[in-house]
Structure 1
């Protein structure tokens, strides 16, 4: 949690994004989902966002990562960092949940180089021991009062014998969390006559990826909901959001697990395949913000949005298809505004 307070320039953001997308014939064709522009934050509101920024690795070699997981193979190019920063500036969140962060140091470096005037004085990124060296993080303009991760969580049960109709290499082994969620509580100072700070607790997730790992994601969701219930028992009426990269859509068993426990998503109307709410270059909507009943009334109606950045075309093989000019990530940022007053 560090210091410096500045602001951003929306006009420059739009020029940067358009400049990135306009040139570069050697790059692949770009597909656009989401909205090309996002409305300013509602007066008096706080903007909450999530963004899988795609492999924010710095140029420092981590000796604990080698072979297929060598971090030097995943260093994020400067032009991609600049494009990601331009997207963040365009969305202009007050509280930003991030996925695929290498480390606290890598995030601080990114903030200092590209977002130093955005007022993100409060930074949380905690090592969770993931084999690929990535973790969840939060950048915030408001103080973070507590943070927690669960790096060795046992989810309960064991891996099944089959994975995609083939023998499962983990068969019979205990189910473990692959990338621990990050819990942070953010305190927002009152405006006007309110006497107590408004608090919101985030559970930032990056569920296990890949076809065939549905059982794993469902176990992660069930386990996390137990942790949320524990938190609610100690903090009745807490405003809670679960947000991040779910690697599953709203109609899947993973996300339905959250819905059955009382969570709802911030898009009140979502049509299957709607490009305005699609968040991944594969054409899926995997990046979500879910809220509990205490937080839901504070959402600003109609403020949920997906911000558009250049993406590969759906169906393109990311291993062989170069990203288009201006590419920042294979995911898009998702945001919603909330009024920081308990209803």
Structure 2
């Protein structure tokens, strides 16, 4: 090849490289996880979108029948790929069918990742979904509050239509999952004493006109956190999950107003790299209390980009096919923490 042809070929490659990179870049989130240093632990949240197994739950029937809800094999593999890339030490999960479904998934698709500790507790939700945690560190406590009363009754209208729950007491749709994780002393950056971290993994009520419901959940969850802080002001608390609300909604603002900190910053305006749902909204969050905020590694929070539908297709998700590599309509969100009390 002549020198001139070689130079032209090199120039073409240089011109096409950015185009190829742009084509491979995720629509939302960032293409690669942030680097993870050995002196931190990574905590994350990921809504896995209906992680159901192929077992029939006899307690579910009618509109909640689960026999045909098993998550497709290719989506399980894609979810596992995202989790491997994420490399979280502690991962809160939403839309999990059961402990058995999650345990099967971890052992089949996440073998070798070190997730030896698994918690998923039934909360009595009629569709059979719950929150869960998988962890590389021991879980010393786990609890839920099924059918938690929130006070008040449902309004007469859902938007402009009759509310099917009108007049009934407002109950928590999906109880928070509270777990405490203990990082052993002298490991993963922990000091001479074990490091404890309490997680509230939440999945707020969905639905455009259910803001009143989410608001009541938010108030109750804040009270639960404050009760713990009153018992132990130094307790490290992290609240994470699918909030089904955007940053300006009252249910989200209430966490900030209560003294918690958004790990991306309380004054942020989410852009495409911080968007967490294929609809173009940021609805998955991680908040920490003041005790834990001192241990959050600065600028470590990120949203990991994964294949999702276009925003137009997301608006018609029930009649559009997901793209190759699709695992969920949500993106994982993560933050790094120094596991030493400061």
Compute the TM-score of the two structures, normalised by the length of structure 1: 0.89
Structure 1 segment 174-323 matched on structure 2, within 5 A: 174-191=169-186, 194-268=191-265, 272=269, 274-316=271-313, 317-323=316-322
Give the whole-Å Cα distance in 1 for the aligned partners of 2:131 and 2:256.
22
Q: Match for residue 333 of structure 2?
A: 334
Give the whole-Å Cα distance in 1 for the aligned partners of 2:146 and 2:217.
13
1:122 corresponds to 2:117: yes
Q: Is the 8 A contact 1:279 1:287 kept in 2?
A: yes
Q: Match for residue 12 of structure 2?
A: none
Q: CA offsets, 1:42-90, max 9 Å, x none?
A: 2310000000000000011111111221112321011000000000000
- 1:234 Cα shift? 2.1
Segments of 5+ residues of structure 2 without an aligned counterpart are: 1-22
Compute the TM-score of the two structures, normalised by the length of structure 2: 0.89
- 1:193 Cα shift? 8.5
Give the whole-Å Cα distance in 2 for the aligned partners of 1:249 and 1:220.
15
- 1:262 Cα shift? 0.3
Give the whole-Å Cα distance in 2 for the aligned partners of 1:193 and 1:269.
27
1:61 corresponds to 2:60: no
Q: CA offsets, 1:6-58, max 9 Å, x none?
A: xxxxxxxxxxxxxxx99xxxxxxx96200111123123100000000000000
Q: Match for residue 3 of structure 1?
A: none
Q: Is the 8 A contact 1:270 1:277 kept in 2?
A: no
Secondary structure class of the residue paired with 2:217 = helix
Q: Is the 8 A contact 2:150 2:170 kept in 1?
A: yes
Give the whole-Å Cα distance in 2 for the aligned partners of 1:203 and 1:43.
25
Give the whole-Å Cα distance in 1 for the aligned partners of 2:317 and 2:67.
19
Structure of higher RCO (CA pairs closer than 8 Å, 6+ residues apart): 1
- 1:273 Cα shift? 5.2
- 1:258 Cα shift? 0.7
Give the whole-Å Cα distance in 2 for the aligned partners of 1:296 and 1:31.
30
Count of matched residue positions in the alignment of Structure 1 and Structure 2:
317
Segments of 5+ residues of structure 1 without an aligned counterpart are: 1-20, 23-29
Q: CA offsets, 1:204-253, max 9 Å, x none?
A: 00000010000000100101111112222222211001100000111110
In structure 2, do the counterparts of structure 1 residues 275 and 295 end up closer, same or farther at CA, with 3 Å as the change threshold?
Answer: same
Q: Is the 8 A contact 1:273 1:283 kept in 2?
A: no
Structure 1 segment 16-35 matched on structure 2, within 5 A: 32-35=27-30
Give the whole-Å Cα distance in 2 for the aligned partners of 1:286 and 1:176.
21
Q: Match for residue 132 of structure 2?
A: 137
Secondary structure class of the residue paired with 1:185 = strand
Report which of the two has the higher share of helix: 2
1:166 corresponds to 2:157: no
Give the whole-Å Cα distance in 2 for the aligned partners of 1:41 and 1:68.
43
Q: Is the 8 A contact 2:141 2:179 kept in 1?
A: yes
In structure 2, do the counterparts of structure 1 residues 269 and 221 end up closer, same or farther at CA, with 3 Å as the change threshold?
Answer: closer
Q: Match for residue 146 of structure 1?
A: 141
Give the whole-Å Cα distance in 1 for the aligned partners of 2:284 and 2:149.
24
In structure 2, do the counterparts of structure 1 residues 274 and 186 end up closer, same or farther at CA, with 3 Å as the change threshold?
Answer: same
| Cα RMSD, aligned residues only | 1.8
In structure 2, do the counterparts of structure 1 residues 336 and 31 end up closer, same or farther at CA, with 3 Å as the change threshold?
Answer: closer
Q: CA offsets, 1:299-333, max 9 Å, x none?
A: 11111010011101113211001111110000000
In structure 2, do the counterparts of structure 1 residues 34 and 270 end up closer, same or farther at CA, with 3 Å as the change threshold?
Answer: farther
In structure 2, do the counterparts of structure 1 residues 208 and 333 end up closer, same or farther at CA, with 3 Å as the change threshold?
Answer: same
Give the whole-Å Cα distance in 1 for the aligned partners of 2:190 and 2:103.
35
Stretch of structure 1 that moved more, 228-237 or 108-117: 228-237
Larger Rg: 2
